[in-house]
Amino acid sequence: MEAVNGWPPETDIGEWKGTANNWYNTFNTSSIVRSDLVSWPTDLSFHSLKAVLTAESNNVDVRIDFYMDNVLRATQYGAGFVGKPLWL
């Protein structure tokens, strides 16, 4: 998901860069980035990705839980993401 009005914020539910790894990324700024690499199954079957975004108690930041095949694989935080329109 990418910001509608400028950039960042951005969070990537699925990104592949020429390997069998999926990158979960959250860009708070161009230099403050969190990336978690998770091996993508090579069994040639369908797999699901999901991100659950939840506002933190400060009502400014967002917790992003990333799932593959309904298993939590990574958690990241988007600083100042609450109320920001994002493209899906």
- The tens digit of pLDDT for each residue in 10-37 reads 999 999 999 999 999 999 998 999 999 9
Query: If you search the block for the tokens 């091996």, which residue do you land on?
Result: 39
Tokens at 52, concatenated: 């659950």
Question: Could you tell me which residue, 87 or 38, shows the higher pLDDT?
Answer: 38
Q: Catalytic residue among 15, 33, 47, 71, which?
A: 15
Catalytic pick from 9, 10, 25, 81?
Answer: 10
**Tokens read off for 23:** 């990158």
pTM for the whole thing? 0.92
User: Does the active-site annotation cover 15?
Assistant: yes
Q: Is the pLDDT of residue 88 over 90?
A: no
Above 90 in pLDDT, residue 6?
no
- Which pLDDT does position 1 carry in this prediction? 87
Average pLDDT, the chain: 94
What is the C-alpha separation between 21 and 41, in angstroms, rounded?
9
- CA distances to 5, 35, 54 from 66, in Å: 24, 11, 12
